[in-house]
Amino acid sequence: MLSKYVKEKTMFRSATTWKRRDFLRTGIVAATGSMLGLKVTKGGVGAPAIKTNTFQPVAISSGNGLAATEKAMEIVLNGGDCLDAAVAGVKIQEDDPEDTSVGYGGLPNERGVVQLDASVMHGPTHRAGAVGALENIRYASEVAKIIMERTKRVFLVGKGALEFARMHGFKEENLLTEQARTLWQYWIENRSKFDDYMTPTESLDDIPEQLRYFIDTGGTINLNVLDTHGNLGGCTTTSGLAFKIPGRIGDSPIIGAGLYVDNEFGAAGSTGLGEVNMQTCASFLVVEEMGRGKTPTDACMAVCQRIVERTKVGYLWRNGRPAFNVNFYAINKRGEFGCASVLSGSQY
C-alpha cells in the first residue's frame, strides 16, 4: 500500500492547478453492451449482439463486476427489468468471500463487526431504496430493493434495517470470514505502538503485504443497466471503509452521492472515498451533466474536477494533492457509457 501511495504521489499536480486532461478516461471498468464494438450474448462477451426492441441493452460496473455485468445482460436480453438485472448482478459479489469490500467477507468496522450499506434506484418509477449499517444480512442490495418496493420510505439503518430484513424472510448469519477476521486482528494489533496490543515477532513479515492488498484493492461494487425497453436502473453495495468507526455510512447508500438514476438522462454510480462524494452530491451531478449534453465519460471527468476543486480539508496531502480516490461509472439514455477516476492505478 505504501509503495503504491508513493507512486501515486508522483503523478499529480496541486489541486489548485488541476487540468481536465489530468483525469483518467480509465479503462479499469467492467462493461458489456452493444456500443463501441462490444458484442454480447446471454452468456457474456463473444458473439454478435442480439437485437431486441429499439434499445440495445448495456451494463456497466466497477472493475470487480465483470461477472455482474454478464449476469445483468443475461436478464435484460431475456426481457427482464433493469433494476432486477442490477441487483442480480451485484449479488454475485455479495456472495464472494474473496471480495473484501462487499457482502459476505467484507472487512469489518473497528470493533470487528461487518456493517453493510446499499442503495438501488429504478428509472421508470424514479423510486429508490437504501440500507445502512446493516448487520448479519448478506444481501444488502435485496433489502434496499424491498424497502423501495414495499414501503413509502427510502432509507433504513441499523437495528431498524435488520428488523425489516427479518420481517421479509432474510436469514441472519455471521458475515465475518476467517480471512476478514485475520486482517482485522492484524490491524488492531498494529495500528499504534502505544496501545494495548502486540503482535508476535514471527508474524510481522507475513501479514503486512496481505493487509495492504486487501485494504487497497477493496472498494464497493456499482452496476448500472439499460434494458431492452430503454429503462435505466442501478445498484451500489458495499461493506464500506475497512475498520471504520461503527455506524459510519459512506456514499453508497446515499441517493445522489453513491448512486443516481434519471430515466430521461442516465444513471451513474461511484466507488472510492464516500465522504467527498457526499459533500458534492457527485452521482447526481454526473447525471445532470449528461442531461446537459455531456458524454458519460466527460460527465464523470467534470465531476472529478469538481470534487478536486471543492475538497479543501481533511483528504489532501500537505502539498494540496488528493490523498483519496473516487471512480465514476455512467450510462446515458442512448446506451453510451463511460467512466473516470481522480487517481490512476485504481482497480475499482
Which residues does the annotation mark as catalytic? 220
Distance between CA atoms of residues 139 and 171, nearest Å: 10
Q: Give me Rg for the CA atoms of the chain.
A: 20
Local structure of 134: helix, strand or coil: strand
Which residue, chain included where needed, has cell 496531502?
317
* Closest listed residue to residue 102, CA positions, set 178, 214, 208, 4: 214
Q: Which residues contact 30 (CB under 8 A, 6 or more apart)?
A: 60, 61, 62, 63, 64, 65, 66, 68, 69
Calculate the dihedral angle through the C-alpha atoms of 63, 68, 74, 78, rounding to the nearest 10 degrees: -110
Q: 229: which 3 cell numbers?
A: 425497453
Q: 81: which 3 cell numbers?
A: 427489468
Distance between CA atoms of residues 259 and 240, nearest Å: 15
